[in-house]
Amino acid sequence: MDFLVFQYPMITVQACLDGILLGVLFALIAYGMALQWGVMNIINIAQGDLVILGGYIAYFMYLYGIHPAWGVIVAPIIMYFVGIAIYKLVINKVVDRDLFISILATFGISILFMQLMNFAFGADVVLANSGYGTTMLFDNNVVLPNSKIFSAFISILFAVCLVIYMKKSKLGRAIRATAQNARAAKILGVDTEKVYAATFGINAALCGVAGALISITFTIHPYMGLPYTIRSFMIVIVAGLGNLPGVAMSGMGLGVFEEFADYILGTEFRIGSVFLLLVLILVYRRFKLSRKREYLK
């Protein structure tokens, strides 16, 4: 066990900032997952693969001399239609079925996407260079790559736009109505089929944005999607469905927690500690739930 956090106090500031910047990006992916989970009751295992596909869009723009930051606009547009296509081909056949069926279906899509991306783009690890510099704080003791700040800013921007869209627009209201009670919404004239397609499309578009940001800040590879799926799944589990501030908070919270686990327990326990936290939260929730049930008795 290390006590670097105490030996070098600036590490604490660095860890908090790193965690928050990372967490915001994950929260964006998780928000998409929460949205379609809430509306369609589908857990999308292919979430991470959609992210990576978005990343490849930005990467190819970069290869052809366009600044990868434009991927933030282009990737969601392309990914929206990819999302609609996936919905029409597969998801609409499993949307009213058991949760297990949808997990199997999206797992299949995930494998298919991985192999197709590998086939189309090759198995090399790639990245897009944004050329953004670095921000130094506190006498150069805290460093923040501008690409990470840019990612966090864009993630927040998209999240805010989406929240406003959900509240104000007709489609947004229809999506929220369907999430609350699909049958009632249908009776009242909401075309739920269209709502489902749009929801899946919006989720894919969010993944596209996140992917473009990841290609600028980290690296992409056809088989790197699963960790993003797992991470967003955990954020949603911790936050609960339909709870946007909760998703943002749990995203950042997990990001910071992970950074501190790294400094205190060591890098090898970084991911393990997040899983441990997840188990503890689930146990705690169950405990709370069972007490509520006793009341009811």
Partner 1 sequence: MRLNKIILSFVSALVILFSTSVASFAKVVGDKIILGAAISLTGKYSSNGVHTQNGYNMAVDRINSMGGVKVGGKTYKFDIIYYDDESNPKRAAQLAERLISQDGVEFMLGPYSSGLTKAIAPVTEKYGVPMVEANGASRSLFTKGYKYLFAVLAPANLYLDVAIETAVELNGGKGVRIAQAFEQDAFSQDVRLGILDAAERTGSKIIIDDKLPKELNDMAATLVKVKQMKPDVLVVSGHTKGALTAIRQIAEMKVDVPMLAMTHCDAAKLSKQHGKNSQYALCASQWHKSLTYKDDFFKDGMTYAADFEKEFGYDPPYQSAESSAALLVFKDAFERANSFDQKKVRDALADTNMQTFYGNIKFAPGGQNVDKPMVLFQVMCDAAGKCENKVVAPLKWASAKLIHPVPKWSER
The residues binding partner 1 (CB under 8 A) are: 4, 8, 10-11, 14-15, 18, 22, 115, 118-119, 122-127, 129, 134, 136, 140-141, 143, 145, 147, 214, 218-219, 221-224, 226-227, 259, 262-263, 266-268, 270-271
Nearer to partner 1, 107 or 132 (CB): 132
CA distance 274 to 281: 11
CB of 296 to partner 1, least distance (A): 43
Cβ of 121: how many Cβ atoms within 10 Å?
17
Look up residue 11 and give its two tokens.
């590490």
Number of residues written out for the chain: 297
Contact yes or no for 67/130 (Cβ under 8 A): yes
CB of 227 to partner 1, least distance (A): 4
Nearer to partner 1, 62 or 200 (CB): 62
CB of 236 to partner 1, least distance (A): 19
Cβ of 7: how many Cβ atoms within 10 Å?
8
Nearer to partner 1, 15 or 207 (CB): 15
Q: Give residues with Cβ within 8 angstroms of 157, minimum separation 6.
A: none
The torsion of the CA quartet 146, 148, 153, 157, rounded to 10 degrees, works out to 140
CB of 26 to partner 1, least distance (A): 11
CB of 126 to partner 1, least distance (A): 7
Q: Give residues with Cβ within 8 angstroms of 164, minimum separation 6.
A: none
Nearer to partner 1, 185 or 213 (CB): 213
CB of 15 to partner 1, least distance (A): 7
Nearer to partner 1, 25 or 40 (CB): 25
Look up residue 223 and give its two tokens.
């088989």
Amino acid at the residue 23: G
Reference 171, options 190, 157, 186, 147; nearest CA is: 190
Nearer to partner 1, 35 or 259 (CB): 259
